[in-house]
Structures are given as structure tokens and as C-alpha cells.
């Protein structure tokens, strides 16, 4: 593993690069990838962004998003394989565990290009040649901003790039309310605003762009798919495949729903179970200082950040996942009570 500063010299004109990010890419994943692509293009590199699954509709406005190649789109597959074969450098953004690439992981592992991780998730895996990794960063977008500045290229940060960066910073900090919102986050945002980023317009594009179906879907989940377990200070939510069909749920439509669980007074954590054909996807959110990533990794093959994690349950039965929860929740009672009394 080498120092990231040595990488700068390798970013020369004509170098072929691929940027990839995690499955179900969120605003930080897409925002950091497109901003980094914009920067590398300015340095003269040939750069493609390849994602393991579709970009959600509320992110398509980002400059460059329409050119992103999606591994799940069979029409893109041949081009993706060719680009990965030719790539001199592969940038892995906003993830540092290969399993988060799902079906794309095999092709990335097999590619000959050097690998560079830029990420802020805990416990990065050892698969890359270069790492720019800080768990104290609230978002990968913040890291991209910092790295470009470290390399003395602040002038490259233009408004288009800044809009992408702001998007990831805004969403990964929960619109500046999560405990990861440091003074540095606000300093970065201040500089982005000075570069012309319209923060209000971006907030509306990302959050106020729902379909009527999406809003009704949210209403249905809050009305019929939410339980509160007072002894565990836990909001438990679930979404069935049938629900998703009924409300014509699109990529990204379940994003953010788990956070509603934390709005209940006294809630320390919230769990959302989403039924998928290959199993249940779990989302976990918690308030400080409850480390929900430990729970996710211990019982649901997952992990993530201290207060925002994900995981999976291998059968696609919601009831099965709830039973598993009922089994393991008592083991966490003392930790929950400890946190409650702080």
C-alpha cells in the first residue's frame, strides 16, 4: 500500500480510468464519483463511471449522471467489461468492502488496473494499492474535496463538481444534523457556496422530487408497517415485495424511510426490513452513542457507520427476519438501557 500523494503523479493525460461505487448508489456515491470524474477529466484522463445498480431518478440531474454505465443493464455489459480490461486505474469510491459491489465485484477483482480506495466506512478491506480513507469524514464527497485541495488543485473545483459534492455532503450528514457534521463539513460547504453552488436548488432536486406513488408509499409504510417496541426503544419497520409492487416503487424510493423511526420520542434506534427476491435487506439507524454497526455485523452480515448501517437476512421471509430479531434483541437489552441512561 502506498501513500496517496504518490498517486498524483500517475494521473497523466491519456491514462484510462474507471470509477466505481457501491450497489444501490446513494447521493454520496454518485456525487463523489461524478465530481472525481470531472476532476480527472480536467487532468486529461479518459474516465468512465460504472455502477453495480441503477442511479435513482432524483440524482439523474447531476452533471454526467446520464453517461453512467450500469452493470445491471445488459446493454451496458460488453462496454463495461471492455473498459475494465483497458483501465490503468480503478477508483473505488464510497465503499471499501468488495461485497458491496454485488455482481460487479468479480470483474473489478479480475481487472489489471491499480486500485484506489477513497472512502469513509469503517474497517476497510485490504484489496487496493492506494487508500485515501478517513472514518472521521462525514462523506466521500468531503474526502474528494479535501484530496483535490491537498493536491493544490482547488481551482479545478467548479460549480458542476461542487453541486455533486454538496449533494453527498448534505445527504450523508442527514442535512447537517447527524453527529458526523463537523466544523470542517460546514467549512467545505462554505467554500462550495463561494464557488456558486445553489444549495437550496440541490436540496429541492434531491428531496422534493417524489412521485405521488412515492409519497403514498411512505404513508402506507408509516401507517401500516411501523411498530414501536418500547422496551428496546426500537422502531421496527418493514416493506414487502407486494408493497413495492402496489406503489410502483422505483430505485431509491425506500431511501430515507428508516429515519422516520427515529422521530418517535424515546427511540434510540430504528430498523427497516425490505423484502427482496434474494433475501431481506436491513437498514439500521441509531442515535449517539449507540453503535448500531456492531449489531448489524454481529447478527445480520452487515456493518457500516456507527449510527447508520445495513445488513441482510438470507431468507426472504419478513416473519423469519422478525423472529431472528426477537431472538437477539434481549441480548442487547443491557446496552440499550446503558445508552438510555446516559
Positive or negative, the Cα torsion across 173, 251, 82, 45? negative
- How far is CA 288 from its chain centroid? 20
Query: Which C-beta is closer to Mn ion: that of 121 or that of 281?
Result: 121
Instruction: Confirm or reject binding of residue 28 to Mn ion (CB under 5 A).
Output: yes
Which residues on neighbouring strands pair with residue 59, listed in sequence order?
A: none
Q: How far is the CB of 294 from ligand 5GP (least distance, A)?
A: 11
Contact partner at residue 304 from ligand 5GP, Mn ion, none, CB < 5 to 8 Å by partner kind: ligand 5GP
Dist CA 206 CA 203 (whole Å):
5
Q: How far is the CB of 227 from ligand 5GP (least distance, A)?
A: 18
Query: Which C-beta is closer to ligand 5GP: that of 138 or that of 188?
Result: 138
Dist CA 256 CA 109 (whole Å):
31
| Residues in contact with 18: Cβ distance below 8 Å, sequence separation at least 6, in sequence order | 47, 48, 49, 50, 83, 84, 87, 89, 90, 91, 111, 113
Candidates 66-74, 90-98, 214-222, 236-244; binding stretch for Mn ion (CB under 5 A): 90-98
In angstroms, what CA-CA distances link 71 with 91, 102, 211? 16, 10, 26
Instruction: Confirm or reject binding of residue 142 to Mn ion (CB under 5 A).
Output: no
Candidates 28-36, 58-66, 195-203, 308-316; binding stretch for Mn ion (CB under 5 A): 28-36
Q: Which of 38, 50, 87, 172 binds Mn ion (CB under 5 A)?
A: 172
Contact partner at residue 308 from ligand 5GP, Mn ion, none, CB < 5 to 8 Å by partner kind: ligand 5GP
Q: How far is the CB of 138 from Mn ion (least distance, A)?
A: 8
Write the interaction track for Mn ion spanning residues 300-319; mark x where CB under 5 A is met and - where it is not. Answer: --------------------
Binding residues for ligand 5GP, rule: CB under 6 A, are 97, 121, 283, 302-305, 308-311
Question: Is residue 242 left, alpha or beta, with left meaning phi > 0 and alpha meaning psi from -120 to 50?
Answer: alpha
3-state SS assignment for residue 85: helix
3-state SS assignment for residue 1: coil
Query: Which C-beta is closer to ligand 5GP: that of 289 or that of 330?
Result: 289
Dist CA 188 CA 216 (whole Å):
36
Minimal CB distance to ligand 5GP: which residue? 310
Query: Which C-beta is closer to ligand 5GP: that of 45 or that of 142?
Result: 142
Residues in touch with Mn ion (CB under 5 A): 28, 94, 139-140, 172
Amino acid at each position: 500500500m502506498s501513500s496517496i500523494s504518490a498517486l498524483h503523479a500517475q494521473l497523466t493525460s491519456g491514462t484510462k480510468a474507471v470509477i466505481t461505487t457501491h450497489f444501490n448508489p446513494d447521493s454520496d456515491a454518485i456525487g463523489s464519483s461524478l465530481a472525481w470524474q470531472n476532476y480527472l477529466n480536467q487532468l486529461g484522463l479518459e474516465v468512465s463511471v460504472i455502477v453495480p445498480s441503477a442511479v435513482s431518478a432524483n440524482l439523474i440531474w447531476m452533471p454526467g449522471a446520464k453517461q453512467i454505465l450500469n452493470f445491471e443493464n445488459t446493454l451496458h455489459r460488453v462496454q463495461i467489461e471492455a473498459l475494465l480490461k483497458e483501465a490503468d486505474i480503478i477508483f473505488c469510491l464510497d465503499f471499501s468492502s468488495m461485497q458491496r459491489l454485488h455482481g460487479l465485484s468479480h470483474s473489478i477483482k479480475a481487472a489489471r488496473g491499480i486500485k484506489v480506495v477513497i472512502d469513509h466506512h469503517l474497517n476497510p478491506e485490504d484489496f487496493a494499492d492506494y487508500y485515501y480513507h478517513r472514518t472521521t469524514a462525514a462523506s466521500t464527497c468531503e474526502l474528494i474535496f479535501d484530496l483535490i485541495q491537498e493536491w493544490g488543485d482547488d481551482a479545478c473545483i467548479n460549480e458542476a463538481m461542487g453541486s455533486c459534492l454538496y449533494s453527498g455532503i448534505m445527504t450523508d450528514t442527514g442535512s447537517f444534523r447527524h453527529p458526523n457534521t463537523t466544523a470542517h463539513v460546514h467549512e467545505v460547504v462554505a467554500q462550495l457556496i463561494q464557488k456558486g453552488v445553489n444549495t437550496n436548488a440541490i436540496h429541492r432536486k434531491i428531496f422534493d422530487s417524489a412521485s405521488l406513488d412515492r409519497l403514498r408509499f411512505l404513508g402506507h409504510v408509516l401507517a401500516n408497517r411501523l411498530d414501536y417496541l418500547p422496551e428496546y426503544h426500537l422502531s421496527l419497520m418493514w416493506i414487502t415485495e407486494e408493497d413495492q409492487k402496489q406503489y410502483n416503487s422505483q430505485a431509491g424510493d425506500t431511501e430515507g424511510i428508516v429515519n422516520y423511526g427515529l422521530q418517535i420520542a424515546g427511540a434510540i434506534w430504528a430498523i427497516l426490513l425490505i423484502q427482496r427476491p434474494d433475501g431481506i435487506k436491513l437498514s439500521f439507524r441509531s442515535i449517539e452513542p449507540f453503535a448500531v454497526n456492531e449489531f448489524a455485523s454481529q447478527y445480520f452480515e452487515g456493518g457500516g457507520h456507527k449510527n447508520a448501517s445495513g445488513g441482510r437476512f438470507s431468507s426472504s421471509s419478513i416473519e423469519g427476519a422478525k423472529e431472528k430479531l426477537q431472538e437477539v434483541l434481549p441480548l442487547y437489552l443491557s446496552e440499550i438501557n446503558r445508552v438510555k441512561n446516559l
